[in-house]
Amino acid sequence: MSDIVNRQWRLVARPAGMVQASDFEYREEPVPAVAEGDYLVRTLYVSVDPAQRGWMNEDPGYMPPIPLGEVMRGGTISEVVESRHPDYTVGDIVSGFLGWQEYALGSTGVLEAQTIVPEHPLPRYLGVLGGTGLTAYVGMLDVGQITEGQTVLVSGAAGATGSVAAQIAKIKGCRVIGIAGGAEKCAWLRDDLGLDAAIDYKGEPVSERLSALCPDGVDVYFDNVGGATLESAIAHMASGGRIACCGMIAGYNAAVPEPGPNNLFLLIARRITMTGFLVMDFAPRFGDARRDLSAWLDSGQLQAREDVQEGFENIPATFLRLFSGRNLGKQVLKVSDPTGTSG
């Protein structure tokens, strides 16, 4: 394979504030030879996630920072294109963390051990059946601990995680209100996903709408955005409510950290529990989650939507879409079809 070029996007600058395309640099490298016991995969789909923004910072978060000069880290779906390993056959589909590059060896450790036997379109294994779907599942059920009849609020509700989280709450018999940016997203939440209400934070006063929609308060708030929306949500929490903190995208590109909610005292007055969580801590639940999510997809109770951009060269631009709120559903980028398929 050494005559093939491994295209890469490497992180070359730590953004001070909003991430920019110039923080990444395009490189070409030779594809390495496959030693005995190893195998080579080629990227089919790249996952594009807000969490990647945090990995670009120098401060260690829950993962070490991506070293400057290294390939940008990220989830992928790949195809085995050469194998000298007994467990992998050419054509196998594997999920992993190849990042923004086209080829990688199994021995680099960026692949999950498990291969995927696709029963759904491949992008779904990066979304509803991948990290974001699992996050929605454990965040709503294990952290949010929703029960039938509760009022549930989801921010970033038209995003990859939020849209699944909101639908899970509907499936479990909750009254669900989604917050999203723009009339199109809100219409999708109401008309297609069947949420009870949607609030367009770009066009409506969130706090006033919550007063009208949730006179008895919000029992569970699934937060993907933080910032002003979190403050509004806290103001409308019911006594004994729970906040599952999944993401705080509103602050990811702040050059200087922005102030937090000014009403945290309500955590006390209303006995609110606010829990930050990472999906990786819930691995024992992934089996349940994949089974349920897959069954809900099959039965039509759960709708998954992917926003698929194309072309390896467009990865940085696709990443930037996340922070301008342009994606609807799970943002992925298609690098190529599996060999032998027509796309």
Asked if 298 is part of the footprint of a copy of itself (rule: CB under 8 A), the reply reads no
What is the Cβ-side half-sphere exposure of residue 207, based on CA atoms within 13 angstroms? 7
Q: Does 210 bind a copy of itself (CB under 8 A)?
A: no
With tokens 């600058």, the residue in question is 13
281 binds a copy of itself (CB under 8 A): yes
Residue pair 111/140 in contact (Cβ under 8 Å)? The answer is: no
Alpha helices, DSSP H, located in 119-244: 131-138, 160-171, 183-187, 206-213, 227-235
* Selected range binding a copy of itself among 106-114, 187-195, 244-252, 304-312, rule: CB under 8 A: 244-252
At its nearest, how many Å lie between a copy of itself and the CB of residue 231? 8
Q: Which of 97, 277, 286, 323 binds a copy of itself (CB under 8 A)?
A: 277
DSSP class of residue 110? Answer: -
Q: Which is nearer to a copy of itself, 36 or 59 (CB)?
A: 59
Q: Is 259 in the site for a copy of itself (CB under 8 A)?
A: yes
Q: Is 253 in the site for a copy of itself (CB under 8 A)?
A: no
Q: Please count the other Cβ atoms lying within 10 Å of the Cβ belonging to residue 245.
A: 17
Q: What is the dihedral of CA 296, 298, 299, 301, to 10 degrees?
A: 40
Asked if residue 207 binds a copy of itself (CB under 8 A), the reply is no
Q: Cα separation of 122 and 124, whole Å?
A: 5
132 and 121 Cβ atoms separated by less than 8 Å:
no
HSE-up of residue 326 (Cα within 13 Å, Cβ side): 12
Site string for a copy of itself, 62-91 (x = CB under 8 A): x-----------------------------
- Residue count at the site for a copy of itself (CB under 8 A)? 35
Which CB sits closer to a copy of itself, 142 or 196? 142
Distances (CA, A) of 267 to 182, 225, 227, 248, 257: 30, 18, 16, 18, 22
Q: Is 218 in the site for a copy of itself (CB under 8 A)?
A: no
Are 75 and 51 contacting, i.e. CB atoms less than 8 angstroms apart?
Answer: no
Q: Does residue number 265 form part of the binding site for a copy of itself (CB under 8 A)?
A: yes
Closer CB to a copy of itself, 133 or 139, in the complex: 139
Phi, psi for residue 137 in degrees, rounded to 5: -65, -55
- 107 vs 263, beta carbon nearer a copy of itself: 263
Is residue 131 within the footprint of a copy of itself (CB under 8 A)? Answer: no
Stretch near a copy of itself under the rule CB under 8 A, chosen from 35-43, 275-283, 322-330, 332-340: 275-283
H helices within 103-155, ranges in order? 131-138
Choice from 246, 302, 304, 335 touching a copy of itself (CB under 8 A): 246
Q: Contact between 248 and a copy of itself (CB under 8 A)?
A: yes
Single residue of 54, 127, 130, 181 touching a copy of itself by CB under 8 A: 54
Cβ contact 309:334 at 8 Å = yes
User: Which positions lie near a copy of itself, rule CB under 8 A?
Assistant: 54, 61-62, 226, 230-231, 239, 245-248, 251, 257-278, 281
